[in-house]
């Protein structure tokens, strides 16, 4: 079904909706609705343009809601008709959250439902949508972060549907367990935090002061989020973005106000922290974050929480007690978040069932990737906080013909922050112009 088109500066947009099987192994069973936004340059709406489908990072985030031709979109519209797809369970596609999941039954049944929301199902969704919108012609996939994981799955499972693959900050390890992912992640996170403190040395004491207050009071934020010390430390997730350190600095600099009852965290600070920590808009990020690494019959078992114990420097209480700098943490999900966050509390048992699950199917086919014939290129960001550079380069070498571009010019958000430059470079690589 196609809705009427509308315009923003430099782009004509059309809302599109598709129905696909909930479980692709049961194509005649329940169907779900997916949403995508088609974008084309003005004056070219009636041209027979090649398609580019964009897969957002996450898991759990809908496609970018651009205003006009922001970031990379303007460059893409020079060559393509673009489909900004909300992957299943994200944005306007088949909502899966604390409000809807109880319709699926108990926690175990909810976990069974969510097991159908990984990269393998997303790729099969894409293949059905591709046949509908392109008439069967292959299209180009642009995958950011987790979208790159999906693109790698695409190369493994349905390369016949691909004209080219462009990946930004999203080459996954083909065989690492979640434990391996986080064991590599914590040292990177520490480097990012140390670099932040070197740039903003005043933040060392500010973070300690806020951390000590939080440890003593455990305030409840305006949205009902219980701010524990570990939750405060998790604000370091933003340090993987180009402007993340600046945003963290500005957040910390005005945390307190004086009141008749003494010094307290300001309403403004609490409101910002509530927005930064809440999963209300993207609960699948918490529910499926470790499941995106699950393969081979092993449970993830709260990998980030277990592996954190191997890095005692992240123990906030000990750091405060001994006068050390408080280390922020990064992209990881922990059981305590399902106690702190009101958007996740009703899903605590569901998350536990996913953590215990062992029947995860393989996501990648090394043999097929080694024989790849699809033009492919990947931006690999040096010391990316979210995706290990070593893992990414090992995978790049395992995909025949993939051309990696390793750069330290950008952080993980280079596709957004770099405007047209990142996409332009990747297109040149797959076309043999660079």
What b/e sequence results for 75-90 when a residue is b if at least 16 CB atoms lie within 10 Å of its CB, and e otherwise?
A: bbbeebbbbbbbbbbb
Active site includes 359?
A: yes
* Inter-CA distances, 62 with 56, 94, 148, 250, 293, Å: 7, 11, 15, 27, 20
* Pairing of β 162-168 and β 376-381: parallel
Strands 376-381 and 403-407: parallel
Determine which one of 113, 177, 289, 412 is catalytic: 412
Cα(274)–Cα(291) distance, rounded to whole angstroms?
Answer: 25
> What count of Cα atoms within 13 Å lies in the side-chain half-sphere of residue 134?
23
Active site residue 217: no
3-class SS of residue 130: helix
Strand partners, 53: 83, 141
Query: Which residue out of 93, 145, 234, 278 is catalytically annotated?
Result: 145
Where does residue 44 fall: left (phi above 0), alpha (psi -120 to 50 degrees), or beta otherwise? Answer: alpha
Residues 379, 422 contacting (CB under 8 angstroms): yes
Tell me whether residue 23 is one of the annotated catalytic residues.
no
Q: Residues 28-42, buried b or exposed e (16+ Cβ, 10 A)? A: eeeebebbbbbbbbe
Identify the three-state secondary structure at position 214: helix
CB atoms within 10 A of CB 321: 11
How many CB atoms are located within 10 Å of the residue 5 CB?
12
Is the peptide bond preceding residue 59 cis, with omega within 30 degrees of 0? yes
CA atoms within 13 A on the CB side of 136: 0
Active site residues: 145, 359, 412
């Amino acid at each position: 079904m196609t809705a009427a088109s509308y315009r923003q500066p430099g782009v004509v947009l059309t809302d599109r909706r598709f129905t696909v099987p909930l479980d692709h192994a049961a194509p005649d069973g329940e169907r779900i609705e997916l949403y995508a936004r088609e974008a084309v340059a003005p004056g070219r709406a009636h041209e027979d343009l090649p398609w580019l489908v964009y897969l957002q990072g996450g898991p759990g985030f809908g496609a970018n809601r651009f205003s006009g031709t922001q970031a990379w979109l303007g460059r893409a519209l020079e060559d393509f008709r673009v489909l900004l797809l909300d992957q299943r369970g994200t944005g306007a596609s088949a909502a899966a959250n604390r409000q809807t999941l109880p319709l699926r039954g108990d926690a175990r049944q909810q976990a069974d439902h969510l097991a159908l929301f990984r990269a393998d199902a997303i790729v099969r969704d894409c293949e059905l949508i591709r046949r509908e919108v392109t008439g069967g012609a292959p299209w180009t996939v642009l995958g950011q972060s987790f979208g790159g994981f999906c693109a790698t799955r695409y190369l493994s499972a349905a390369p016949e549907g691909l004209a080219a693959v462009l990946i930004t900050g999203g080459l996954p390890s083909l065989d690492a367990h979640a434990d391996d992912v986080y064991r590599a992640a914590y040292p990177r996170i520490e480097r990012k935090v140390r670099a932040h403190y070197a740039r903003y040395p005043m933040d060392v004491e500010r973070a300690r002061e806020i951390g000590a207050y939080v440890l003593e009071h455990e305030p409840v934020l305006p949205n009902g989020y219980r701010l524990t010390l570990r939750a405060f430390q998790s604000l370091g997730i933003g340090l993987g973005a180009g402007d993340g350190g600046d945003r963290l600095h500005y957040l910390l600099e005005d945390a307190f106000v004086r009141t008749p009852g003494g010094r307290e965290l300001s309403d403004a600070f609490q409101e910002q922290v509530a927005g930064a920590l809440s999963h209300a808009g993207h609960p699948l990020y918490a529910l499926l974050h470790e499941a995106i690494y699950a393969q081979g019959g092993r449970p993830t078992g709260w990998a980030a929480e277990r592996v954190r114990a191997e890095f005692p420097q992240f123990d906030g209480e000990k750091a405060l007690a001994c006068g050390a700098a408080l280390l922020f943490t990064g992209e990881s999900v922990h059981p305590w978040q399902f106690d702190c966050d009101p958007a996740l509390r009703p899903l605590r048992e569901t998350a536990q069932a996913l953590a215990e699950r062992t029947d995860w199917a393989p996501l990648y086919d090394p043999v097929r990737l080694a024989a790849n014939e699809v033009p492919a290129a990947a931006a690999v960001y040096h010391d990316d906080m979210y995706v290990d550079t070593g893992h990414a380069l090992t995978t790049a070498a395992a995909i025949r013909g993939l051309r990696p571009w390793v750069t330290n010019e950008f952080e993980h958000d280079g596709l957004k922050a770099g405007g047209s430059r990142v996409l332009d470079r990747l297109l040149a690589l797959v076309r043999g112009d660079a």
